Amino acid sequence: MLIYLIGLGMGILSGLAIGGGTLLVPALVFFVHVPQQTAQGICLASFIPTALVAVLTHLRQKNVDLKLAFSLTIGSLVGALVGSTLANHVDAALLKKMFGMFLFYMGVYEVLRSLQKRVRP
């Protein structure tokens, strides 16, 4: 049952374009005890159908700049190849720490950004 709830949360976050992997990877590592590299692979594999549904929904609502999306896709494909190759060569404990640092940094960034918006009218 826990896996279905994690999947539901990931799907909702992905549909909102918040990033379901932000929830899925730590949930798989800490609650299901999946190794970090495996959790990242599962996250990416499960992201394909989720992203497809979200993209189709946003396309119907005309929320996608196809030229910009195509340009980003080219860079993303190269980055994904490099990143996944690196992830398979990095120790799982180090990869977990790097992912945690990334999440921490993004959390601090978002808090500071929201505080700036409150200060500036």
pLDDT one-digit tens code per residue, 4-44: 887 787 777 766 666 667 778 888 888 999 988 898 888 88
| Token output for 56 | 């189709």
| Separation between Cα atoms, residue 105 and residue 98, nearest integer Å | 10
| Separation between Cα atoms, residue 33 and residue 96, nearest integer Å | 12
pLDDT one-digit tens code per residue, 60-111: 999 999 999 999 999 989 998 998 888 888 888 898 888 889 889 988 988 8
What pLDDT, on the 0 to 100 scale, is given for residue 15?
66
Find where tokens 């599962």 sit.
42
